[in-house]
Amino acid sequence: MAPDGKPLVRQSPYRPLNDGKDEIRLVRIKPLQSDELVQCHLSTASLNEFRPEYLSFIHASGLVEHSVRRVLPKWIRSCKQRPHAPPGKGVFPVVPEPSQVAHRYRWGDFAALSYVWGEEKREMILLNGTPFPVTKNLEIALRALAINKEFQGNYKIWIDAICINQNDEVERGSQVRKMRQIYGGAWAVVSWLGNNNGRADVKDAFHLLRTLASLSEDEQELTTLLIKRPGLVREEGFFALHELMKRPYWSRLWVIQEVVMGASFTILRCDDELLDWECFCNGISVLYRGHNWTLKDLLLEREHKRRNLRLSGWHITSLHLVHQALRELISYEGEGIGTRLGFRRLLQVASSCQCRDIRDKVFGLLGLMDPEIAREVGHDYSLSPPKLFAAVAKAFIKHTNSLEPLRLANPWGRNGSPAWAADWTWKGRMPSWRPGSTFTGSLSKTGASNLPPKPETVYNADNGTPSVYSFLEDWRYLQCDGFVLDAVGGLGAPERYSFEWDSDSIIPYPSWRSAYGNREETSTALMGALLGLRHTNHGGTQLHNLALSCLPSTFLTAFPQFVERKWSWLAN
């Protein structure tokens, strides 16, 4: 029944969008009491309808060709925009809600919601007065926003499940291609992590991250800090952070594009608790400094024992995703150099996340690709995964006029991809173990002035010789010219997962020879090959790096040394 007591009649809230006007749909949320159905109003808006004041500003400031993420801070300052609390519970917003004078469009402005669809169970809301099913997780998010009286006026919100007609395949494809424009152009991206009803209070996790992010560089050795300032960081904060990083949000592939496009205007939200993205990343980066990585394990173990819980280790996949991938990608996007994301980095991101359709490993990251490559790849769900993976490799080879993508080909992929094309589902890509990665410390800065060298400049045997290749009519084959440098004498085991290898592919090398001379000279050459220019400061291999050649070759050999040094986290 509707609020007025009349029977509910389902009607479609959708009318066709006008691509010529760059139209999208936006949601306005009506305020409600906690026991009512959530009510939303869906309307159409054109992303071409800028206010004259905004257009004058970007032209006068020479910002026409700049990304929204670079323009928006300057626009906010020009409008003398000040953060203020929205009506309701007085939550202090990290990114200020735009005042009327700061609206960029004639119709107002908008944010975009990033969330996990979650389980298939549906809840009803009212959309333009008509019953409309949404996932349980989305209903919880909408209810929290409605109770807090947000997105009621001309500041609206874009939500994929509502704003895209999910029954129209053509519209879905068109709107998915706009994802970069929508999330990259929104006033803010609201990352809904779920409600705050887990085993730990998210407030404790956010408090810990704010505390860690506020520490000076001299204070970031937590072992010393805990002695000098006891009580500053507490075990319950580490437990709460552990629970936060276990949430399904961090494993959803579509989230990557959404968060990266939001850049520094991304807001993490759990019920009424908010945290800005920069503070979140800076707090997590402290965990990677010195002995903090092992200290966090000790503090987590203590809190598990105090709560009489079974000990579970940190969800390090999520921590690595934020620290080693998202932090850097968002920095690039914020500085307007997001198109640097290449084949290697996209594969690393894709392998760390999950999606229901493996083709979304590609489609979910189209917004992070070079626009020309993304257009050629397209958004065609009629392609089988092997054909799609081959099409992506082909697009990168053509547009870069380089065979560099062959570095990432993996003939042991299990989806039937050609031997020359990377399988986007393969989990064996450990970034720090591959020659294209950079050894970057926890506090190393990212951004335009600290870009790592491209792999082709670190490991290059062709001396600039142009690539000669052709794609055959049979999509499974690539024809190219090359030269024989040497013969492969043996093969090791490709990695399936972390510390798990496929021993079936091992081909032993019958006799070892070195072209470099004795063991010491060979070790020096090997370290140079492994390290190359992969340092944060992009310098060459240093003498102390040769200590790597003295590391124990197996855990069995290393065990007594770990015990002697009381490295219990390795000895166990």
Q: What is the DSSP letter of 126?
A: E
> In this structure, is the dihedral angle defined by the CA atoms of residues 528, 532, 537 and 538, taken in order, positive or negative?
positive
Residues 81, 512: Cα–Cα separation, whole Å: 68
- Residue 243 lies inside a defined structural domain of this protein: no
| Rg (the chain; Cα; Å) | 26
pLDDT for 308: 87
Structure letter (DSSP) for residue 247: S
Helix (H) or strand (E) holding 72: helix 68-78
Q: For a pLDDT cut of 90, what percent of the chain falls above it?
A: 30
433 falls within a domain: no
How far from 105 is each of 7, 150, 154, 187, CA to CA, in Å?
37, 19, 10, 11
The mean pLDDT of 525-543, rounded to a whole number, is: 61
* Residue 187 located in a structural domain: yes
d(CA 42, CA 22): 17
The predicted structure's pLDDT at residue 443: 41
Amino acid at 477: Y
Question: What mean pLDDT value characterizes the chain?
Answer: 81
Secondary structure (3-state) at 145: helix
Confidence at residue 89, expressed as pLDDT on a 0 to 100 scale: 36
Q: Range of 48's domain?
A: 19-192
Domain assignment present for 133: yes
**266-270/478-480 β-pairing:** unpaired
More confident residue, 95 or 231: 231
Residue 27 in domain: yes
Helix (H) or strand (E) holding 479: strand 478-480
CA angle 368, 374, 375 (to 5 degrees): 145
Residue 533: band (very low, low, confident or very high) from pLDDT cuts 50, 70, 90: low
Is the distance from CB of 433 to CB of 531 less than 8 angstroms? no
The CA distances from residue 568 to 61, 166, 298, 572, in Å, are 58, 52, 10, 6
Give 195's pLDDT tier (boundaries 50, 70, 90).
confident
Strands 266-270 and 189-192: parallel
Cα separations (Å) of 13 from 163, 321, 437? 10, 38, 48
Q: How many domains does the chain have?
A: 1
Contact 275, 244 (CB under 8 A): no
**How far is Cα 380 from Cα 490, in angstroms, rounded to an integer?**
40
- Residue 50: inside a domain, yes or no? yes
- Where helices occur in 287-412 by DSSP H, the ranges are 292-306, 316-320, 327-334, 343-351, 360-363, 371-377, 385-400
pLDDT of the residue at 161: 93
Q: Is residue 113 part of a domain?
A: yes
Q: Compute the distance between CA of residue 402 and CA of residue 342 in angstroms, rounded to an integer.
A: 12
DSSP helix/strand/coil, 317 = helix
- In the predicted model, is pLDDT for residue 543 greater than 90? no
Give the predicted TM-score (pTM) of the model: 0.78
Residue 393 falls inside a structural domain: no
Q: Are 168 and 240 in contact (CB under 8 A)?
A: no
Element (H, E) at 123: strand 122-127
Pick from 114, 71, 78: nearest CA to 99: 78
* Tally of CB atoms within 10 A around 190: 25
**Residue 133 pLDDT:** 94
Share of the chain above pLDDT 70, in %: 83
User: Would the CA dihedral through 51, 56, 57, 62 be positive or negative?
Assistant: positive
Report the distance separating Cα 155 and Cα 126, nearest Å: 19
Pairing of strands 155-158, 109-114: parallel
In terms of Cβ atoms closer than 10 Å to its own Cβ (0-12, 13-18, 19+), residue 32 is middle
Tell me 252's DSSP state: B
Write the pLDDT tens digit of every residue in 413-460. 778 889 999 999 887 665 555 655 555 444 444 444 455 556 666 667
pLDDT at 146: 93
The type of residue at 413 is G
For residue 429, the model assigns a pLDDT of 63
pLDDT band at 83 (very low <50, low <70, confident <90, very high): very low
Residue with token string 């389980």: 119
